[in-house]
Amino acid sequence: MAGFYPAYPRQTLIALRTLVWKETHRYLRIWLQTLVPPAITMTLYFVIFGSLIGSRVGPMDGFSFMEFIAPGIIMMSVITNAYTNVVSSFFGAKFQRHIEELLVSPTPNYVILAGYVAGGVGRGLFTGLIVTIIATFFADLQIHSIPITISVVFLTAVLFSLGGFINGVFARKFDDIAIVPTFILTPLTYLGGVFYSLSMLPDFWARLSMANPILYMVNAFRYGILGQSDIPLATAYLLILGFITAGTFFSLWLLRHGTGLRS
């Protein structure tokens, strides 16, 4: 397994650069499948939920409904694409059995993980940028805090890239890579405050929603864009960083023990 051989800084850097390029080229080469569909889907969200339904809903927390949902829709695209890119790429490497060549090479485990995560982050941010440009045609978005906006979207992309990696490690067939996005990720995203404010919910459901980690990410990103959030910003950062730390150590542990990788 990787990590049994000494790695030198120059060789390690070359390995990382090669992995990042491979993962980046992978989704850019098939951009009609990886970048265009999310843009179309999110445009439909803006048209249906924003223009058609939003005009009937009215303002929310002092903003037009379109302005309110725009950060959530952008974050939704980042989460989905960062996760999907890594899980499909890593499972594809397992299925085609060329991951074994990487694992027996002198490439350290942290470089393997960083390469795949970088690919997921790149696709997530690229898609998020496209959706942000689309959002400007529907809403007048004025960024409240650039550092908060950039840091939250970047950390969220890292987190869900790690989640996609873990899913890819445990997946045994193609159906397995769709289970988590379908039954866990999608419901949590829709219930993560993308289309509504916690102030609209009864106390019980508002407290229950606080157990949804995506709620914190969406609200932190909304604060970066609009300057408004239903949850404390510090809590959101602590939760995101905590999950990233746990996901990183768990992913490295899986690689070190060859979980789901050994025949």
* DSSP-derived secondary structure for 156-191: HHHHHHHHHHHHHHH--STTHHHHHIIIIIHHHHHT
| 3-class DSSP assignment, residue 219 | helix
Structure tokens, 162:
């790690």
Distance between CA 11 and CA 241 in Å, rounded? 29
State the pTM of this model.
0.91
Phi, psi of 187 (to 5 degrees): -60, -40
- CA–CA distances in Å: residue 55 to residues 45, 62, 76, 131, 159: 14, 14, 22, 21, 34
Please give the pLDDT value at position 61.
80
For the chain, report the end-to-end CA distance as a whole number of angstroms. 13
Which distant-in-sequence residues (6+ apart) come within 8 Å of 8 by Cβ? none
Please give the pLDDT value at position 4.
45
Phi/psi-derived region of residue 62, left when phi > 0, alpha when psi is between -120 and 50, beta in every other case: left
Please give the pLDDT value at position 7.
54
Determine how many CB atoms are found less than 10 A away from the CB of residue 239. Answer: 17
Q: Which amino acid is at 96?
A: Q
Structure tokens, 111:
């470089």
Structure tokens, 178:
């769709």
| 3-class DSSP assignment, residue 212 | coil
**Residues with pLDDT less than 50, the chain:** 1-5
User: Is residue 145 within 8 Å of 68, Cβ to Cβ?
Assistant: no
Structure tokens, 56:
């009937």
